[in-house]
Amino acid sequence: MTTRSLLQELRARFAEALNAVAGDSTPVDPQVRASGDPKFGDYQCNAAMALAGRLKRKPRDVAQAIVDAVEVADLAEPLEIAGPGFINIRLKPESLSGRLGRIAPVGEGGVNPNRPELTDRFGIPPVADGDRLRVILDYSSPNVAKQMHVGHLRSTIIGDVFARSLEFAGHDVIRQNHVGDWGTAMGMVILGLWYRETRRRRGETDDVLRRRLVDLQSARESGVDERRALLQPIATDWAADLSDANAAVEPVRLEQLELGYQFVQTLTTVAEKTGVQAPGPDGDIELADIPRLVTQMLQTGGEGNEFERALWEAARAASIGYCQELYDRLGVLLRPEDVRGESFYHARLPRVVDDLRTALTGEGRTAPDGAKAVFREDQGAACVFVYEPDGKPRYANPDGEALPLIVQKSDGAFLYATTDLAALRYRVSELHGQRLIYVTDPRQQLHFKMFFDVGRAMGWAAPTTRLEHVTFGSVLGENRRPLKTREGGVITLARLLDEAESRAFELLHERQRAAESEEEGAAIPRFDEVEMREVARRIGIASIKYADLCRDRNSDYVFSWDKMLAFQGNTAPYMLYAYARIRSIYRRAADEFPDAQPYAADVTIQLDHPTERALALRLARLPETLESIVDELTPHTLCAYLFDLAADFMRFYEACSVLKAPDAASRASRLRLCDLTARGLRLGLSLLGIPVIERM
RNA sequence: GCGCCCGUAGCUCAGCUGGAUAGAGCAGCGGACUUCUAAUCCGCAGGUCGCAGGUUCGAAUCCUGCCGGGCGCGCCA
């Protein structure tokens, strides 16, 4: 038998009663929800008012009819009708404690500290087999050319919560890290790496390259002649180096990629309007045109050029290795085997365009929602236009003309729309995805709408395939502009994490000092340097992640160290502290009452004190909270729940002593509540990608 | 010009897809440590939900129009 959540149970029972009252088989929304105010009960059913209109009866009469028809006597106190026809539901304490009592203790093997949700389900069953979906989750997706910065943070940690939550719910999640390893930026990296490598073979160190970069940077504002004089020797050497095709490339590090990338990028800027040329694969090319050169270089696939291939692989390996370090540090689930970047689809792109051309030329095809996709060449580019059923373009440019999804540029190169379509086909037909989730910034929204339309029109996504573009707001500085360093540069992720950890360490250190200076000394754990570093590391990372997750993901959020590291309010430290307090009680109870068995069969969960009842009700609502996160992909609702849970526990903690409980039965009951709370916090935080701390 | 997102307490944010007297946390004021970690808890104060209409038993929520802010709109991703 599947255990329903409290909310599901009440909904089901009221739905049945409503159908009886309504007298027909039209399903009626039972409108059961948690009450906003405790004086209106724990849950309420608001369906009477709406139904009254339909039945042309008085709302309160309808409410009475529902009350008479519904069978909830085993769960709730006698129902009350209030106001215009609200039905207030107050749960019986024994039904609450019974429900919690059915949550089995953690099994023999104990809890896996890294993935507690895999070993302690808190009595929550996975979805039924028939509801299980294969979910393809596309998140993080950094561009391998550059260091990861705060912009990548949100996609990575929000996506990670989806991965964990959907997996916990019982779905079959396949992570796809769609890294940018084949675009112009990657080409620039390869070219930079090529330059560095060939110079290195002539005995030049990175320092020489770095100095040359500085020279170029300072020449950006100079006159054409001056810049030409600077560039000409580089171009001449370049020509000499081109003959070197030794494919052996040593492993490189990210800094070297960045150096090469910056060099090529600066070179391109400085070469603006100088006309300085260097040899390319198909004859001379202007240095200023390098971006086009590298794109072409990649379009031809680097095939037949082992050196280029080796450079690409070295660059890719360095980037992915570097990203993996950050993923490990952040504690996200992504692994190297989840990487399926743009390059993976490269060989499939011509067929995508061919198939679009074949299927959509002329009349085109119509998607289930009526959108018509038509293939047409326009200004030399291969395009797909999307039209409404009435023939109007669904997307328009500022001049009001139809806006195409371009799948092949006039120079023959493919674009990210092409890659995304190829990935869509792959994910549906080869990975058998039924729900495809893309976690990216909202600027790409138009692109996603267009390529979803085309994918549906082509039938590459079935009508039942869910395609979801999940967006998130930007991270702002205190000045309300996108977060930057004081100098205006991007903040690298590594630096951000460093600062979080060192700030957390300072706070811990401060607290320890304060405790030592007090006469009796607060009862806080004493840490040595190594332990404190580790606790600070966990708090720091947790704070960054939690701050990111606790707001509605679509709104921009203002980044504030003080707020995310605060020990009050809806923050990671508050939650972690609540957990640590509970664990502390547990350790002491084990010492003082070694015989106490909170999960023994004869233990009844007693809900005499209001704070005990409130805590129990909150615990009973964990399952329904997790349901909503799976449907709506809203981590902040889980954060809000955990904050309420922690706060309810704190109140209980202040009011009901566990170790000094009046008797053994009460103590066992309270210990049980403590442990359930700890498990709920641990499970919830774990789904947010945040590991708990036993002592802090 | 078109499209999307946002506007709620001094600040940072919730508000469960139309429900009851709009809620938290900071900051402010006042309380609580002989008591399981005071990184806590309790109380007070704080609001024209951007503005104006509309839909209805009922609107912060849905519709329309303004005002203010952000983003996007053909060969970058």
* Mean of pLDDT values over A339-363: 95
Chain centroid offset of residue A221 CA: 42
Nucleotide nearest to A45 (CA to C1'): B19
Q: A638 CA to B58 C1', in Å? A: 30
Find the Å distance, CA of residue A537 to C1' of nucleotide B51. Answer: 48
Least confident of A358-362, A451-455, A522-526: A522-526
Taking alpha carbons only, the member of A537, A497, A502 closest to residue A156 is A497
Integer angstrom CA distances of residue A366 from A40, A373, A374, A482: 51, 6, 9, 40
| Lowest pLDDT segment from A164-168, A273-277, A654-658 | A273-277
Instruction: List the A478 CA – B48 C1' distance (angstroms).
Output: 29
| The two three-digit tokens of residue A339, written as one number | 């990487």
The per-residue pLDDT for A243 is: 66
Please name the residue whose C-alpha is nearest to the C1' of nucleotide B19: A46
Question: What is the reported pLDDT for A554?
Answer: 87
The pLDDT, as a whole number, for residue A487 is 75
Count of H-run helices and E-run strands, chain A: 23, 16
Nearest nt to the A46 alpha carbon by C1': B19
Q: What does R_g of chain A's alpha carbons equal in angstroms?
A: 31
Quickly give A617 CA vs B23 C1' distance in Å: 19
Residue, of A461 and A484, whose pLDDT is higher: A461
Query: How far is it, in rounded angstroms, from Cα A444 to Cα A151?
Result: 14
* Average pLDDT of span A90-111: 92
Enumerate the β-bridge partners of residue A492: A149
Quote the Cα angle for A121-A122-A123, to 5°: 90
Query: Which amino acid residue lies closest to nucleotide B69, measuring CA to C1'?
Result: A480
pLDDT at A129: 92
Task: Give me A680's structure tokens.
Answer: 């709920």
User: For residue A244, is pLDDT > 70?
Assistant: no
pLDDT at A242 over 70: no
Kindly report the average pLDDT of chain A as a whole number: 89
What average pLDDT does range A337-345 have in this prediction?
95
Nucleotide nearest A444, CA–C1', reads: B72
Distance A401 CA to B66 C1' (A): 28
Protein residue nearest nucleotide B21, by CA to C1': A37
The predicted structure's pLDDT at residue A522: 58
Residues A481, A651: Cα–Cα separation, whole Å:
39
3-state percent breakdown (helix, strand, coil) of chain A, nearest 5: 55, 10, 35
CA–C1' span, A526 to B31, in Å?
31
Q: Higher confidence at residue A271 or residue A377?
A: A377
* pLDDT of the residue at A108: 82
- Looking at chain A, the whole-number percentage of residues with pLDDT higher than 70 is 95
Q: Residues A240-266: what's their mean pLDDT?
A: 80
Question: What is the spatial distance between Cα A323 and Cα A326, in angstroms, rounded to a whole number?
Answer: 5
Supply the pLDDT for residue A395.
93
- Which nucleotide is closest to A47, CA to C1'? B19
Q: Is residue A485 over pLDDT 60?
A: yes
Our measurement of CA A456 to C1' B61, in angstroms, reads: 32
- Listed residue (A671, A695, A543) closest to A100, CA to CA: A671
Percent of chain A surpassing pLDDT 90: 59
What confidence score (pLDDT) does residue A536 get?
A: 94
Residue with minimal CA–C1' distance to B71 is: A443
Nucleotide nearest to A535 (CA to C1'): B39
Nucleotide B15's nearest residue (CA vs C1') is A36
Q: Which nucleotide is nearest to A589 (CA to C1')?
A: B36
Cα–Cα nearest to A249, from A302, A295, A317: A317
In this complex, the nucleotide whose C1' atom is nearest to the CA atom of residue A39 is: B20
Q: What are phi and psi of A300, to 5 degrees?
A: -75, -5
How many Å does it take to go from CA A385 to C1' B51? 39
Q: What is the mean pLDDT of residues A540-557?
A: 91
| Furthest CA-CA distance within chain A | 93
Cα(A259)–Cα(A256) distance, integer angstroms: 5
What single letter denotes the amino acid at residue A125?
Answer: P
The integer distance in angstroms from the CA atom of A641 to the C1' atom of B50 is 30
Q: Which of the nucleotides lies closest to A556 (Cα–C1')?
A: B6
Q: How far is the CA of A261 from the C1' of B7 (A)?
A: 41
The strand ranges marked E within A353-403 are: 365-366, 372-378, 381-387
Cβ atoms of residues A553 and A634 within 8 Å: yes
CA A352 → C1' B55, Å? 48
Mean pLDDT along residues A69-90 = 93
Q: Give the neighbor-by-neighbor strand order of the sheet with A80-82.
A: A32-34, A43-45, A86-89, A80-82
Nearest protein residue to nucleotide B22, judged by CA and C1' positions = A36
Measured CA to C1', the nucleotide nearest A397 is B73
Give distance CA A183 / C1' B76 (Å): 9
Predicted confidence band of residue A304 (pLDDT cuts 50, 70, 90): low
Q: Which nucleotide is nearest to A385 (CA to C1')?
A: B74
Give the CA A398 to C1' B5 distance in Å.
Answer: 19
Per the CB < 8 A criterion, the answer to whether A438 and A138 are in contact is: yes
> What is the C-alpha separation between A220 and A265, in angstroms, rounded?
11
Nearest nucleotide to the CA of A399, by C1', is: B1
Measure, in angstroms, how far nucleotide B37 C1' is from residue A137 CA: 40
Q: Which domains does chain A have, with CATH numbers?
A: 6-90 (3.30.1360.70), 92-121+567-696 (1.10.730.10), 132-179+339-472 (3.40.50.620), 184-330 (no CATH), 487-560 (no CATH)
SS3 A33: strand
Measured from Cα to the C1' atom, the residue closest to B13 is A551
Q: Give the residue from A574, A606, A578, A611 showing the smallest Cα distance to A680.
A: A578
DSSP SS3 for A421 = helix
Q: Residues A141-178: pLDDT tens digits?
A: 998 777 888 878 899 999 999 999 999 999 999 999 99
Tokens 């989806």 -> residue = A162
Contact indicator for A585, A670 with CB cutoff of 8 Å:
no
Cβ proximity of A117 and A686 under 8 Å:
yes
In the block, tokens 């026809």 appear at A85
Q: What is the 3-state secondary structure (H, E, C) of A366-435?
A: ECCCCCEEEEEEECCEEEEEEECCCCCECCECCCCCECCEEEECCCCCECHHHHHHHHHHHHHHHCCCCE
Mean pLDDT for A628-641 is: 92
Residue nearest B1, CA–C1′ metric = A398
Cα–Cα distance for residue pair A88/A73, rounded to 1 Å: 13
Question: pLDDT per residue over A577-600, tens digit each?
Answer: 999 999 999 899 989 998 888 999
Token pair belonging to A155: 């996609």
- Å between CA of A171 and C1' of B71: 34
Over 70: is that where the pLDDT of A300 sits?
no
Beta pairing class for A43-45 and A32-34: antiparallel
Q: Can you tell me which residue has its alpha carbon closest to the C1' of nucleotide B4?
A: A445
Q: Are strands A381-387 and A372-378 parallel, antiparallel or unpaired?
A: antiparallel
Question: Nearest nucleotide (C1') to the CA of residue A481?
Answer: B70
Q: How far is the CA of A239 from the C1' of B20 (A)?
A: 80
Q: Which nucleotides of B are covered by protein (CB under 7 A)?
A: 1-2, 4-7, 12-17, 19-21, 23-27, 35-42, 56-58, 71-77
* Separation between the CA of A362 and the C1’ of B57 (whole angstroms): 55
pLDDT at A1: 41
Nucleotide nearest to A667 (CA to C1'): B36
For A186 and B34, how far is CA from C1' in angstroms? 68
Nucleotide with the nearest C1' to A409 CA: B75
Angle between helices A529-549 and A150-169 (to 10 degrees): 80
